[in-house]
Amino acid sequence: MRLTLEKPNACRFALICPVFAPLVIAFFTYIIFPYTEIIVIGVGVNLIFAIF
């Protein structure tokens, strides 16, 4: 029972994390250091393509 319930959550987490992590990092970086947002987005995009 428990495995059946936990598996979809793990799959959802695995799909959402690579997409939203760079966006969240870029969002906070944009507030604190506006000029580094481009670097963070670039690194985030590279990480996404590295994963896939």
User: Contact at 8 Å (CB) between 22 and 45?
Assistant: yes
Q: Give me the percent of the chain exceeding a pLDDT of 90.
A: 0
The pLDDT confidence band at residue 1, using thresholds 50, 70 and 90, is very low
Q: How many domains does the chain divide into?
A: 1
> Averaged over 28-45, what is the pLDDT?
71
Q: CA 37 to CA 26: how far, in whole Å?
A: 5
Q: Domain range holding 33?
A: 2-51
Using DSSP's 3-state secondary structure scheme, residue 51 falls into helix
- Distance, C-alpha 2 to centroid of its chain: 27
